[in-house]
Amino acid sequence: MEDTRSKMKNSRFNIYTPIVLALVLAAGIFIGSRLRFSDKPSNFIFRSEPNKIDMLLDLIEENYVDTVTKSDLIEKSIPLILEQLDPHSVYIPAEDLQAVSEPLEGNFEGIGIQFQIIRDSVNVISTISTTSD
């Protein structure tokens, strides 16, 4: 009789355990989706390499005496950072991009020759007889 009771308990345990675990998992997912997490990272998150620039900009934006925006600080700092690289690395702000691109777009016009420079002298190799209109 006692053996039959233990078999019944084991079979009930085997049936209800997966159901209970599934319900607990579903409840955890539901509750986790309803929680609102802050968009700002916590100061207590340990990272292998913290992004010092983001941290500095956040601190300035939150605590600086005057009103400053992160985007203005970024726009002013990008040229200074690129200046450290080489003379050909430059930042073109969005409002200046069209003015910078205009000379590079469209048709190029010239006198229609193919030339070569030898010892500081220009030598005409051939002329281009056809022109495109």
Backbone angles phi, psi at 11, to 5 degrees: -70, -40
Neighbours of 79 (CB within 10 A): 13
pLDDT tens sequence across 78-113? 989 999 998 888 888 888 888 877 776 666 567 778
- The whole-number pLDDT of residue 44 equals 52
pLDDT band at 53 (very low <50, low <70, confident <90, very high): confident
Query: Cα(119)–Cα(40) distance, rounded to whole angstroms?
Result: 62
- For residue 66, CA distances in Å to 60, 69, 129 come to 9, 10, 65
Q: Is the pTM of this model over 0.75?
A: no
59: left (phi over 0), alpha (psi -120 to 50) or beta: alpha
Residue 1 has pLDDT above 60, yes or no: no
pLDDT band at 25 (very low <50, low <70, confident <90, very high): very high
- For residue 38, CA distances in Å to 11, 30, 35 come to 45, 18, 10
The stretches of the chain forming alpha helices (DSSP H) are 2-34, 52-63, 70-82, 94-101
Domain limits, the chain: 1-37, 52-98
- The whole-number pLDDT of residue 51 equals 84
